[in-house]
Amino acid sequence: MKFGGGVVLDDGWLGVTYFRKMAPLEMVLKMGKLYSGDFAEEPKVERLRARSIKIEAERPLPVECDGEAVGVTDVTFSLLPKALFLCVPAF
């Protein structure tokens, strides 16, 4: 999935993409756009930048990061600027 268009990895900001409530069929029909990152004009997709984000729910909901289960809500994500060194191959 390409959620991070325009994200700068070392600017100290989290790039946040969230999806408003959609019916299961609507989500299935939009899946191609979600995977390609082509959702700029979608009214139910919001993008913002934040130093931290807290996700709360009335009942515990599963939380995933990069497809890995990491726990349940309530959860807070924050950023440690320049705390991660990445080494990637040049293309």
Identify which of 3, 2, 24 has the alpha carbon closest to the alpha carbon of residue 14: 3
When comparing pLDDT for 75 and 18, which is higher? 75
Are the beta carbons of 50 and 16 closer than 8 angstroms? yes
Q: How far apart are CA 37 and CA 64, in angstroms?
A: 19
Quick check: 3 pLDDT over 60? no
What pLDDT does residue 53 have? 92
Q: What is the predicted pLDDT for the residue at 4?
A: 56
Query: SS3 for 53?
Result: strand
Query: What are the phi and psi torsion angles at 50 (to 5°)?
Result: -155, 155
pLDDT at 91 exceeding the cut of 80: no
| Model confidence pLDDT, tens digit, residues 21-80 | 889 898 888 777 767 777 777 888 888 889 999 999 999 999 988 778 999 999 999 988
